[in-house]
Structure 1
Amino acid sequence: MKVAISIVNYKTPQLVVDCLDSVLQEMQRLDGIEVFLVDNLSQDDSVETFRQYIEQNHCHNKIHLIEADRNGGFSYGNNLAIKSAMSHKSQPDFIYLLNPDTILHKEGIVNLVHFMEANPKVGIAGGSLVGPDGEEQGAPRRFPSILSELETSARLGAISKALDKHVVPLPLSEKPFECDWVSGASMMIRRQVVESIGCMDEGYFLYFEEVDYCFQAKSAGFQIWYVPDSVITHIEGAATGVNQRKRRGKYWYDSRRRYFVVNYGIFHLLGADLLWAIGRLSFNLRRVLRLGKSFDSAESDPTWFAWDLLVGDLKAVLSGKVFGERKRANG
């Protein structure tokens, strides 16, 4: 089986080198693995670092370096890799999206490939993500929805229990199971999915693009599965800084808005924002009145989170920008 691995770099050369070391180990366990490494115009020492790595490891035929002419985001970079892989005479059976801030565990790729070989209806599969300390990060999830936004922002046990079928993170299991979407940090895509729905939507700069892609794949009749036997260490946020408690980049809010508008419509976005605001208000009231056991989760929220989310969407609606989100920008 031929597997094309897509890795997109932006100013994280050492993380990529560590990732490539683990990939080279997997190449010894499974023939047919090739890496399509995209540098999104880092303008640092990334390209030179990768050239030296390829030279030192004698893997010119296994690692293909692609230099992008701009930093077009995660979808844009992956699309460059996907197009390059698909243009070969011997097209890959699978395309594997792998974050630069990941380390493959033994047979991390092998187990995903074997699972998909045995289950031809599965279009996309993702593995188990663990942090550097071994803590599970929760890769399988449901699609975000109006009710999931209320559950997420309210942070109240009674609401979470009542909306159990709408909670985005799914309970982990030792056995594979079907879900709505898996993390783009480790996402194995069957070639037929790309042939059916095309490349990723480049209207997303960063975040929600894998949610959207899984939504398209599932709408086209493909199954999405979580495969716990495939394990990857993920230094979450190391390449973007999004998990740090600082003001979150505008692209995150733009991507969230785009996901709701493109897949559900503008009124769905407004409903999601309304219920998110209600949940957030209830949480803040309980926090002020100390009606509950713990409010420590608020400490991990980005600065100006509510303002940036709600005001950003309001501005997009009033300016008419939101109407431009309804068209896909597949590469």
Structure 2
Amino acid sequence: MLANSGSLSKRADSIERFSLNATESVKVVIVNYFSSSLIEDLLCDVKVDDFGGIIIVDNSNDTDEWRNVEVLASQNSVRCVRMEYNAGFGAGVNCGVKSLGLKSSEYVWVLNPDTRIERDSAARLVKAIDEHRADIVSPLIVTDPDGQVWFGGGDLDLKRGRTSHRVTTPHKVEECSFLTGAAMMLRGASWHRLGGFREDLFMYWEDADLCIRARDLGMTMMIAPDVTIWHAVGATSSASGKSELYYFYMQRNRMMVIASSFGIGGLLHPLAIAELMRIFLRTFKEDERPLSKARAAARGVLAGFQYAVGQFKAGSPVFRGPAAS
């Protein structure tokens, strides 16, 4: 019994040393938008000294919320930076990564404020990246009720311009064509090759755009099912169904990304048009303000089309890439 106990103790010490050494090269970026109370809960799960750096980027553009973030950062010995205005998710993450001085040999973990992690989550994600030579990896993400799977990997339908979540737990590490931005970890070298997130989308589809560009560069994206985190889906969004902002930016941004990646012709694919109509008609199923949300979706379509026309006038080809076929 004593010998077995000693063996187990050595194994535990080895795991602990691996965990600490692995996470020292991980830098964490959390973008805040009136979510300081959620970030406080998240930081309860984190041993700050284990990481190479943690930063909260405040997008709230509110003096009181910034004070909350400053206090939270001071109490937990993490860094914080205030954006001059709400520049959106992508710009917030990019600012955080730049402020942390990410090296190519390091890793960056982007965490939503409404996530909860385990202490060894980061180390196990690093292990998955290294063992499988991946560029970007996501943990299995569960949510209430009863810890149901919210993200077990993802797929990107390039012709439709639609992202989808797998809602079952894979049996092993699997490749994906889409990873959600809620908790993705990237190699520092891969982050720099990609140039970070696109900043003109503001909200929604930043992760899809990043995944398309990663695919074009031949990068490997994977889901690591043995690493599970919890995500309070919608905790930072409106509780009254999808918002007008959701419908505007979802329509506009998917069109912008499709046009940028595949040319204006990509928007004319029958499946892309069907997806546009699916999102638009969904507004009429909303319990609150369906007409207002329908108008927001229509404005998004118009803005997306105007962007695509501008790209065409600037010399972008009509058809480009696999979505055209």
Query: TM-score interval w.r.t. the shorter chain?
Result: 0.7 to 0.9
Q: How many residues align?
A: 285
TM-score (structure 1 length as normaliser): 0.75
Where does structure 2 lack aligned partners over 5 or more consecutive residues? 1-21, 317-325
- Contact 2:135-2:219 within 8 A present in 1 as well: yes
How big is each residue's C-alpha offset from its partner over 1:198-219, in whole Å with a ceiling of 9 and x where there is no partner?
Answer: 1211011011101111111121
Partner of 2:226: 229
How big is each residue's C-alpha offset from its partner over 1:42-87, in whole Å with a ceiling of 9 and x where there is no partner?
Answer: 3043222232233334x2xxx1111111110000000001111236
Q: Give, as a single letter, the amino acid of the residue that structure 1 aligns with 2:65.
A: S
C-alpha displacement of 1:105? 3.0
Partner of 1:169: 165
How big is each residue's C-alpha offset from its partner over 1:72-112, in whole Å with a ceiling of 9 and x where there is no partner?
Answer: 0000000001111236xx66610011001111134222211
Matched, 1:276 2:275: yes
Between the aligned partners of 1:46 and 1:280, the Cα distance in structure 2 is: 33
Between the aligned partners of 1:37 and 1:191, the Cα distance in structure 2 is: 19
Partner of 1:322: 308
Aligned counterpart in structure 2 of residue 22 of structure 1, from 45, 49, 55:
45
C-alpha spacing 1:3/1:310, structure 2 compared with 1 (3 Å): same
- Contact 2:58-2:69 within 8 A present in 1 as well: no
Q: Give, as a single letter, the amino acid of the residue that structure 1 aligns with 2:309.
A: F
SS in 2 for 1:50: helix
Q: 1:185-196 maps to which residues of 2 (within 5 A)?
A: 185-196=182-193
Matched, 1:45 2:71: no
Higher relative contact order (CA 8 A, sep 6+): 1
Q: Give, as a single letter, the amino acid of the residue that structure 1 aligns with 2:125.
A: L
Percent sequence identity is 24
C-alpha spacing 1:81/1:316, structure 2 compared with 1 (3 Å): closer
- Contact 1:146-1:268 within 8 A present in 2 as well: yes
Matched, 1:130 2:142: yes
SS in 1 for 2:190: helix
C-alpha displacement of 1:185? 0.6
Between the aligned partners of 1:75 and 1:14, the Cα distance in structure 2 is: 22
C-alpha spacing 1:219/1:11, structure 2 compared with 1 (3 Å): same
TM-score (structure 2 length as normaliser): 0.76
Partner of 2:8: none
Q: Give, as a single letter, the amino acid of the residue that structure 2 aligns with 1:66.
A: V
SS in 1 for 2:186: strand
Between the aligned partners of 1:321 and 1:242, the Cα distance in structure 2 is: 31
Where does structure 1 lack aligned partners over 5 or more consecutive residues? 150-166, 285-296
C-alpha displacement of 1:301? 10
C-alpha spacing 1:306/1:143, structure 2 compared with 1 (3 Å): farther
SS in 2 for 1:206: coil
